[in-house]
Amino acid sequence: MTEQGLQSGWVVVCDSAKVTPGEGFGIALGDARVGIYRLDDGSLHAIGDICTHEFALLSDGFVDGDQVECPLHAALFDIRTGKCHGPMAFVDVPAYPTREQDGKVLIFV
Ligand code: FES
């Protein structure tokens, strides 16, 4: 079992069409929240969706290139890696391997 309470492996999480450049798509994955993003180059990425400062969903934030800005206090997180570029947050969020297959988005947990 994973930290999210799931069997480890690839999990289908949504249709590919739901994830468009310029905005996050938030999902519940077991006990975790995950934000899925498509960059302008078409690549897909998934990172933890809960800000490490206070409770806010990053997928509700503003996407600028390969960064998402927390909607509450504007901390920046790298969409590719989950790395936090603060302030106000200073702790990274997890990044999940992500791929597409047959029109679906899959995340490795
Ligand atoms: S809750 Fe995200 S920066 Fe404060």
* Domains of the chain (ranges, CATH numbers): 10-108 (2.102.10.10)
b/e map 70-91, b = 16+ CB within 10 Å: bbbeebbbbbeebebeeeebee
Backbone φ and ψ of 41, nearest 5°: -80, 5
Q: Two tokens at 26? A: 């938030």
Q: Reduced to 3 states, what is the DSSP secondary structure of residue 17?
A: helix
Q: Which of 84, 88, 93 to mutate to test the pocket of ligand 1 (most atoms within 8 A of CB)?
A: 88
Mean pLDDT across 59-81: 97
pLDDT at 83 over 90: yes
Using CB distances shorter than 6 Å, the residues near ligand 1 are 51, 53-54, 56, 70, 72-73, 75, 88-89
pLDDT at 49 over 90: yes
CA of 62 to the centre of ligand 1 (A): 13
pLDDT in tens, 1-37: 676 666 789 999 999 999 999 999 999 998 899 999 9
The predicted model scores a pTM of 0.93
